[in-house]
Structure 1
């Protein structure tokens, strides 16, 4: 298969050249914005020049040196680590290894160094230092190692998240005497093309591009871009196309060679965007355009490349990178938002199992958000870290205002529109939160409600294999999860009575899927509470427990729900939803209810007269597409049944979650994502679900206080005995007393109201008791004993 058609390339060139440059640029910019919205990305990196020795003699290169010009043929491991650690301290995420091509084939000094250090080739040594950086720092290596064999590419894939080599040009003319690549066997286009193909076969996220102004024609530029496009269509691995402009350097054969001017660079960048379409990342290095670099944003680029606050551009040392503040200012002045990425681009992060070696995936997941960008804060749900603030006010996505206008009218948004909202950054996030708060004000005014309740988790024994759950699975800490237990009915009843005596109007009861439980067990738990405290509202049993209970009694879910309702059940928690996207559920809870099964149980509850809450657990392995589908499932069901009382976003607490301990999940959502989840939910579910709740257990008092200005009108329950989030590692306590609740709400300039489960005002008597509650008694955790449980069940049946 040919990599490009001469006729096609000639036709493309004619179509580009007959058009005014301004029109070409405008079309490229529109295409870019369609694909990337208002974001311009960059990678904060350190540049590690492992060796300046090279067997090639390119006419324009000042990176390569000869042995007598360097103190050591290669950087020593301690030198590599010193650079990496300096970068880590400065907030870098990427270690860019750049080196000359196969110096051991030309220089005795290189061969001697490698032999003394126990390596056969430069690639062997590179593999070693990449592994060292991975082991000793948080940086992720990207390697530009010159021409490699496919087996070498495969080896480096295990110690680097991405690799690259510039095609530069398909012109073989430039390898002839007098050409830019004369005397450089590794610049043969056929050799470079074969390596790029090999990287595709090895599923390596790969960087390539063209170098303009070295003697090639515009037609050859088009042909080079078409060749890269063809390779990418075969393998899907080229993550970015760099359009790099030649700059003349003294002490080179091309010292007096004419440089391409800015218009030529803008023309080529625009041509690259038009050839590759809206989805390819197109980069032009800003430092090679000096003070004119902001104009590059006009030409359809969406990436500035690697920028280092620590090291120079060793390939172009005469052209320093713009500092990050200047880069951000220039990007903002163009109405765009600067976002940090990793060495591997977001699309490849989102599909990490396909593109990144399994050993490296945990390191990647620790540093990214749901979109695959670098996390923009170090905050995590459940931690005591301060709530981050984003001082950037730039609005960059023009689509958002139209979507917000539709949402305010209660119109059902599309999945794609919701994803646009979730992708918001900087000032666009503020705009979404303001819109959500306007809807909140129109729906529930300034009243913020909460319920005085007690959690009763009657067993932490569970047969399911949920990979996020630290309550019943995973690493055991006595102060968190504790030992397996199964509460006696007497202890359940005692806790319910104590809750009532402390002002509660509700007990919330859920537990693990205990193999000894049957539908009768749930009825017994319910009756134990109602016989002890007839007045209290029992909010109990997840949809998974309902399904299990019905199955053990060999009756329908609807029949079982009717039995529970008649026995005094007041409502169901809409938990066990996690993410209503079966592709995600297969990863995090493969043996749990499917999306349709969960929705069916909830619908049956509503139709049986049992209202439910609704929830989402976000910030682990899923992304915005799953969030959008989840919200639309809830909206559509609510439109049919009207049975949801509220929506409760539950940020994933990662600290003790099994899949986090195994490096299989992110560190929970970022604060930006938490803000967006609550605000976007308010807009998407409007006007069908009126109450949006924030979880103080996951977010702390400062967190939920901030969210009261972003669409939230409810703070949930005081809880008394929260244990599930504490098992996952949250440090925000197990009870938030009524006085604390009301102080928090008033500090946020809202009006507190104590409510019941079903959003009626709590009675004066209940409110008075809750403000004068005695200290909780010590809990009795009945040790799990299957034989005892079986004996109790037999006695109850008789």
Structure 2
């Protein structure tokens, strides 16, 4: 007996053993998730030069019947799909009909093309441009040039291997007379796709005369190609269905046990991470058994068009499939035609225009975004869908450790961020219960004023729409550099309106020195001695110290003497240097940011902590960030609060260049507040939500999911407004308190250090005068103020 045959003996095990092993292997990589793609099916042509004996899709030319869908017909189908929330345009068609039919050649000529694949490429580009749907193309056997051409306008491509059995191509076999079904020809297309870095779909068709050993041969051939190139994103196990008016109309179909054996075998051969799919419409009523056999994907489902290859088998309703999946303990999640691993590495696997579109449609894990909410827009936050009746035991255990104060492992935090459905609800409820235990029913806020003294900056952070060059008028707003008189005027006005704090930050102006920052503090204290100055990011501190030749600690002590009270924890962005190298390569790194906070805490300055998330980073970066904050807080105790700042994408340069996602999804944004509460417990007790970025309704959701602080009233908000947020520049105290009471909580006005605000301040804040118009001093050459 050969070694290969000895290895195959494992597949002779009882079916129950095989499926149990396959399901466990699947769960180790995919957890509770079952994916599907919400698609629209576009049958570009039903002509084919092959004559497979089981197929009803392929037709022959008939007078009066169009050979190809017209561009208008293609767009009409695609637009209907887009309106129904689809993300994928699946183009299906026969293999190169022009090589067999004159009618196909004539029709192509009338359309301005020589080949079917040339016309397909043009239609993919049209759909992408006009509807935003991501094309997936199944045109059959292709040359290197054809695969490369389609790669520019598709998110993924595919060809069903079907079988590696040469016997099936002999006389009497189902592939006799079908030159494109020779295994070597199809395997070559698969190989070319791997060399060209195309996310690729393939699979096998069972029950067409092949043996089980031949199925294993086909699966091993796919595994070998994937091992060489890493490009096989999914493998479909499709069961033959006998169709009328075909040569196999009376043939026996594979039974359920045979299908389950093949799914389990595919999982065992292809490994835990492979996406293995079995079409649900071909096996209605046995979803539980298919899941138990080891699949993790239901394939493309359409709310608009039928399965043109199996028109007799209607798609299950997506809502029904979600409920059926939940009944098995699994969670249905919508994916794009390109799977998450490839979406997260879009620059490697996708053409630039496709990569930008995929990023705009993706969540942090690489799945399709589950709503059209984004930070800064005014869409109401959607209610979470909860179908599962149970909570993942692993997640429950992580939460139990977090609420006991244990430092979580990085992978534990990553797992929490992936939570959906009942697991998501469990996390948010646990965080809210912990919030209640730590801070009671009180929601705090501070009456403050933002003063952004200049938007001129010589750094080039790719996320920032606020900063300008001296004469850069092209972006939102004009460059300015506030006169000291305008800064003090605003501080006085803020005090008169009940503020206890001014928050000062700006761009890194090339003419500013440490003396400039010191002079600003002294000027404010001279006119409003009791005002708390919350000012200067870690970048401003680093730059200021360098310009006056002082160590950071000594410079901070100098600022304290001038009146500085606390530091904002901004310029943190993401405390992961791989991400910082992309979004702010010339900015301070993770160690330098932490060192500024450590130095501030040593000299007696408290600081806030922030995270700016939802752009190019992953949840692993979020976990690194939270653990860095927790570890520094364990060392110094100097952080007053944690403030999640979701990325506002609208005007951000890196989004406009196609480099970034459009901020976190609502699920991710809420989880950041909840997991922040859990992962930082008990070291950081205040979790603040940003009403400017989350919106009032979104902030309310966060306050019910672990947050206990609503931040500041602001009076003037410039940075998020420059990025495109549609929320207001001021949230007056009486409106803040109305929001807080609307969720059954008690408002409390505080100062920057979380002490109750004096009653005199609170009274002044409740009857404020209207703000005077701000004066934005134009750029000017400015010597350091000393």
1:600-679 matched pairs, under 5 angstroms: 600-679=595-674
Shifted more, 234-243 versus 392-401: the winner is 392-401
1:640-719 matched pairs, under 5 angstroms: 640-719=635-714
Equivalent position to 1:738, from 694, 713, 733:
733
Q: Which SS does the other structure have where 1:75 is aligned?
A: coil
Name the CA shift for 1:688/1:96 in 2 (closer, same or farther; >3 Å): same
Name the counterpart of 1:776: 771
Deviation at 1:25, TM superposition (A): 1.1
User: Scaled by the length of structure 2, what TM-score is found?
Assistant: 0.98
Cα distance in 1 between the residues matched to 2:245 and 2:169: 20
Cα distance in 2 between the residues matched to 1:692 and 1:722: 20
Cα distance in 1 between the residues matched to 2:538 and 2:17: 58
1:263-282 matched pairs, under 5 angstroms: 263-282=257-276
Name the CA shift for 1:8/1:659 in 2 (closer, same or farther; >3 Å): farther
Equivalent position to 1:567, from 551, 562, 568:
562
Asked if the contact 2:50/2:95 (under 8 Å) is kept, the reply is yes
Deviation at 1:474, TM superposition (A): 9.9
Deviation at 1:438, TM superposition (A): 1.2
1:60-75 matched pairs, under 5 angstroms: 60-68=54-62, 71-75=65-69
Does residue 244 in structure 1 map to residue 235 in structure 2? no
1:46-195 matched pairs, under 5 angstroms: 46-68=40-62, 71-195=65-189
Asked if the contact 1:104/1:122 (under 8 Å) is kept, the reply is yes
Deviation at 1:362, TM superposition (A): 2.0
Q: Which SS does the other structure have where 2:413 is aligned?
A: helix
Cα distance in 2 between the residues matched to 1:208 and 1:451: 58
Instruction: Count matched residues.
Output: 785
Cα distance in 1 between the residues matched to 2:509 and 2:301: 54
Name the CA shift for 1:418/1:363 in 2 (closer, same or farther; >3 Å): same
1:169-568 matched pairs, under 5 angstroms: 169-394=163-388, 395=390, 397-473=392-468, 481-568=476-563
Q: Once superposed, which parts of structure 1, at least 4 consecutive aligned residues long, lie more than 6 Å away?
A: 474-480
- Give a deviation string over 1:528-559, Cα, whole Å, max 9, x none: 11111111111100000011111111221122
- Give a deviation string over 1:82-112, Cα, whole Å, max 9, x none: 1111111111111101111111111000111
Cα distance in 1 between the residues matched to 2:596 and 2:472: 34
Does residue 766 in structure 1 map to residue 764 in structure 2? no
List gaps (5 residues or longer) in structure 1.
1-5
Cα distance in 2 between the residues matched to 1:116 and 1:768: 78
Cα distance in 1 between the residues matched to 2:670 and 2:180: 50
Name the counterpart of 1:39: 33
- RMSD between aligned residues: 1.7
Shifted more, 469-478 versus 613-622: the winner is 469-478
Q: Which SS does the other structure have where 2:234 is aligned?
A: strand
Name the counterpart of 2:723: 728
Asked if the contact 1:84/1:139 (under 8 Å) is kept, the reply is yes
Cα distance in 1 between the residues matched to 2:637 and 2:753: 13
Deviation at 1:215, TM superposition (A): 1.1
Name the CA shift for 1:766/1:749 in 2 (closer, same or farther; >3 Å): same
Asked if the contact 1:50/1:98 (under 8 Å) is kept, the reply is yes
Does residue 28 in structure 1 map to residue 26 in structure 2? no
Cα distance in 2 between the residues matched to 1:477 and 1:763: 43
Name the counterpart of 1:3: none
Deviation at 1:293, TM superposition (A): 3.5
- Give a deviation string over 1:294-326, Cα, whole Å, max 9, x none: 421111111000001111111111111112122
- Give a deviation string over 1:687-735, Cα, whole Å, max 9, x none: 0100000001111221111211100000111111111111111121111
Cα distance in 2 between the residues matched to 1:508 and 1:393: 44
Q: Which SS does the other structure have where 2:498 is aligned?
A: coil
